[in-house]
A = this chain, B = another copy of it.
């Protein structure tokens, strides 16, 4: 697959949003027009500085009216049919990316800030940035782990393309590729899809990790990511590995099911991966998903989160990795974030990482 190729075609939806087809073969006709009469997308997001937390919070009042659990025959992510003019004008597609109709962030302009307290304690900034939807397949009933390897590779290449593109968008400080799956975490569209956020700030979790990595380097030298990864390789929490990647349940897992996937080589973000690393990602990603999905015979609520370096800061320290987390803690039971987690940030995990790793390794594939 070293010569895996993807063919992008940029188009425009009826309301002016960009839609990009990423085809696996060249020369596909992507001229089908968007026949809908759509109102202009509203986006008047703000970001506000929470001075006590030292974090930016997005205030996006226009999102209250967004689509909520549409019936499957009116899926907005399926290809268009005569009965259903969806978000995708074409009658079929491989992978498609388009601007979210209810964006948390939209518009170009200065970033909110990368770190430190703004001069005004109650600072408000425009919610500039970009929010995209990524459809992984035109098959409404598929899931990522069922897709052919070549399609997973295409999705990886699309994440890479969008990371590069959104990083060049004025005001975007960090690009986050992710998939939310499962009604238990509020996912109102069944169709297999993910999202990409271009944030106008470095996200709180990333900023905190960069602080920790810097403090560790100052105190002890060395890269904190590297030291932690070295402890997991071939250890009791490893669940899968290949030439280029390692998958493990982290030492201090917060979620009932949690798997981290690290490239063996430090890279700041997806565009920095080699072709060999891309090829090797596909089978280990599918294996990690199948092991997690195989633990319990119920659909797995899942968050798939690419932790990438910010666009402009911390790039020489960051070790890009993927985190797969689920709130499913037992058949019919989920882990809720209540007072301890939500108000105090103190996570209580009712599973032990080592026992979860054993269970994941025992799943028959």
Binding site for B on A (CB under 8 A): 48-61, 63-64, 68, 104, 117, 121-122, 174, 176, 178-180, 185-187, 195, 197, 199, 201, 203-206, 208-209, 211-213, 215-216, 219, 224-225, 227-228, 231, 250-254, 303-305, 307, 323, 325, 329-330, 333-340, 342-353, 355
- Is the CB–CB distance between B104 and A176 below 8 Å? no
- Is the CB–CB distance between A212 and B303 below 8 Å? no
- Taken together as a complex, chains A and B put the C-alpha atoms of A216 and B120 apart, in Å, by 12
- Taken together as a complex, chains A and B put the C-alpha atoms of A304 and B339 apart, in Å, by 7
**Complex copy number for this chain:** 2
- Return the chain B residue nearest A183 by Cβ: B336
- Is the CB–CB distance between B253 and A57 below 8 Å? yes
- Is the CB–CB distance between A204 and B348 below 8 Å? no
- Is the CB–CB distance between A343 and B325 below 8 Å? yes
- Taken together as a complex, chains A and B put the C-alpha atoms of A307 and B344 apart, in Å, by 8
- Is the CB–CB distance between A224 and B52 below 8 Å? yes
Question: With A209-B53, A227-B121 as given contacts, are A68 and B348 in contact (CB-CB < 8 Å)?
Answer: no
If A179-B339, A203-B346, A204-B346 are given as contacts, then 18 extra A-B residue pairs at C-beta distance below 8 Å, sorted by A number, are A51-B212, A52-B212, A52-B213, A53-B208, A55-B345, A57-B346, A60-B349, A61-B352, A121-B228, A122-B251, A180-B338, A185-B337, A185-B342, A186-B335, A205-B343, A205-B345, A305-B344, A325-B342
- Taken together as a complex, chains A and B put the C-alpha atoms of A131 and B317 apart, in Å, by 39
- Is the CB–CB distance between A340 and B104 below 8 Å? yes
- Kindly list chain B residues whose C-beta atoms are within 8 Å of the C-beta of A342: 185, 303, 305, 325
- Taken together as a complex, chains A and B put the C-alpha atoms of A16 and B147 apart, in Å, by 55
- Taken together as a complex, chains A and B put the C-alpha atoms of A253 and B227 apart, in Å, by 37
- Return the chain B residue nearest A180 by Cβ: B338
- Return the chain B residue nearest A178 by Cβ: B339
- Return the chain B residue nearest A346 by Cβ: B203
Interface-centre pick from A219, A225, A349 (highest chain B CB count, 10 A): A349
Interface-centre pick from A60, A63, A185, A337 (highest chain B CB count, 10 A): A337
Question: With A59-B353, A63-B350, A303-B339 as given contacts, are A333 and B68 in contact (CB-CB < 8 Å)?
Answer: yes
- Is the CB–CB distance between B52 and A228 below 8 Å? yes
Q: How far is the CB of A225 from chain B (nearest CB, A)?
A: 7
- Is the CB–CB distance between B215 and A334 below 8 Å? no
- Is the CB–CB distance between A343 and B330 below 8 Å? no
- Taken together as a complex, chains A and B put the C-alpha atoms of A54 and B252 apart, in Å, by 11
- Is the CB–CB distance between A187 and B231 below 8 Å? no
- Is the CB–CB distance between B344 and A205 below 8 Å? yes
- Is the CB–CB distance between B121 and A338 below 8 Å? no
- Taken together as a complex, chains A and B put the C-alpha atoms of A174 and B345 apart, in Å, by 13
Interface-centre pick from A52, A64, A203 (highest chain B CB count, 10 A): A52
- Taken together as a complex, chains A and B put the C-alpha atoms of A139 and B252 apart, in Å, by 40
- Is the CB–CB distance between B56 and A305 below 8 Å? no
- Is the CB–CB distance between A58 and B347 below 8 Å? yes
- Taken together as a complex, chains A and B put the C-alpha atoms of A329 and B57 apart, in Å, by 16
- Is the CB–CB distance between A305 and B203 below 8 Å? no
